[in-house]
Amino acid sequence: MTTRSGAPAQPSERSGAPAQPGTRRTKQRAAISALLADVDDFRTAQQIHDLLREGGESVGLATVYRTLQAMAAAEEVDVIRHEGEQLFRRCHSSEHHHHLVCRSCGHTIEITGPGVTEWAARLGQQHGFRDIDHELELFGLCDKC
Amino acid sequence: MTTRSGAPAQPSERSGAPAQPGTRRTKQRAAISALLADVDDFRTAQQIHDLLREGGESVGLATVYRTLQAMAAAEEVDVIRHEGEQLFRRCHSSEHHHHLVCRSCGHTIEITGPGVTEWAARLGQQHGFRDIDHELELFGLCDKC
DNA sequence: CTTCATGCAAACGCTTTGCACCAGC
DNA sequence: GCTGGTGCAAAGCGTTTGCATGAAG
């Protein structure tokens, strides 16, 4: 990605895929994908790493990070930041949504903000801001915690 | 804070203050306070550190962190986390509010979420969550950026 | 004079990266 | 056999902390 071979041969880039990483099907990616399909709650990269190890599928922590990053870029997983660390989760809805997350076990419920996006856009415009983005997450303790 | 003197003398703790740090009036605290009064935008601890240094008032970075932490605990400053780092700002409203923050210069406008708190509480209750807290901030580019 | 804040540097936790090795295709 | 993913360990970055010094009251 940083270095380029001297040859002027154009990289094998088809039209569809924007040369994102994470193309190749590997055992590690499969393991992470499978785990994410299983665990319906937000988890840190380190937790995912531990869970994989517990499950016998040992994957390097760096790979976990790299894969999650790629999946996040491909919008296959949702990422939220909480207290300095990032939490990952495979979400069901592909539409814009927010989360109600248990701050103890990570149990998550997807929620939709009632008109938050429009509200944010309107408010931004009012104050001369453009390119408005919003962060909205709810945290609490679920009934099991 | 971690180590205690062997003497069993009870710490000089009056009834009012819960032994929070930041009691003593020092030059550094004054400088940080003054700067925060001047700068109306969200700033990282390191930016504040730099600004102090530029202004001639050199304060150790650790002190900046410790002081900001104390001020945050005393609710004298607002803290938000964004992209892994925390931003500090002296806010005008002491009531619950949110922010519209320029992601380039940190310029900030205080906003009130229309019923977000109630909405969050209701939603939490619906799903058996308690002790609900919410994080809501807007980010964009201000007209000067 | 006692106590607590400060400063420095080292430690910390999470995340990213360089590089040699290995596996997809 | 190329290409690109993996693993390890080291580096990076923002933040916290231990400890000796210095200032506040």
Q: Quick check: A2 pLDDT over 60?
A: no
Q: What is the pLDDT of residue A70?
A: 97
| SS3 category, A49 | helix
Q: Tell me the pLDDT tens digit for each residue of A45-89.
A: 999 999 999 999 999 999 999 999 999 999 999 999 999 999 999
- The greatest distance separating any two alpha carbons of chain B, rounded to the nearest whole angstrom, comes to 60
Q: What is the pLDDT of residue A13?
A: 39
Q: Quick check: A26 pLDDT over 50?
A: yes
C-alpha closest to that of A66 among A97, A15, A111, A21: A21
Amino acid making up residue B56: G
**Phi, psi for A94 (deg, rounded to 5):** -90, -10
Q: What is the pLDDT of residue A86?
A: 97
Q: What is the pLDDT of residue B116?
A: 93
Cross-chain Cβ contact A123/B111 below 8 Å: yes
Q: What is the pLDDT of residue B56?
A: 94
Helix segments in chain B, DSSP class H: 27-38, 45-54, 61-73, 116-126
Q: What is the pLDDT of residue B61?
A: 98
Q: Does the domain formed by B13-89 have CATH 3.40.390.10?
A: no
Rounded, the Å distance between the CA of B35 and C1' of D19 is 29
Q: What is the pLDDT of residue B5?
A: 39
Contact B137, B91 (CB under 8 A): no
Judged by C1' against the alpha carbon of B13, the nearest nucleotide is: C3
CATH architecture, domain defined by B98-140 = 2-Layer Sandwich (3.30)
Interface probe, candidates B102, B109, B135, B143, chain A, greatest A C-beta count within 10 A: B135
Contact B91, B78 (CB under 8 A): yes
- Cβ-proximal residues to B11 (8 Å cutoff; 6+ apart), any chain: B19
Extract the tokens encoding B70. 């104390």
Within chain B, which residue ranges are assigned CATH 3.30.1490.190? 98-140
Handedness of CA B17, B22, B27, B33 (dihedral sign): negative
| SS3 category, B127 | coil
Handedness of CA B75, B81, B82, B84 (dihedral sign): positive
The stretch A93-99 carries a mean pLDDT of 94
pTM: 0.86
Residue A51 distance to chain B (closest CA, Å): 24
**pLDDT less than 70: residues of chain B:** 1-22
Q: What is the pLDDT of residue A33?
A: 97
CA distances B4 to B7, B9, B62, B102, Å, are 8, 10, 22, 45
Contact A98, A111 (CB under 8 A): yes
The CA distance from A82 to A22, in Å, is 26
* CB neighbourhood size of B131 (10 A): 12
pLDDT band at A113 (very low <50, low <70, confident <90, very high): confident
> B83 and chain A: CB distance < 8 Å anywhere?
yes
Extract the tokens encoding A50. 């531990």
Within chain B, which residue ranges are assigned CATH 1.10.10.10? 13-89
C-alpha closest to that of B82 among B129, B51, B42: B42
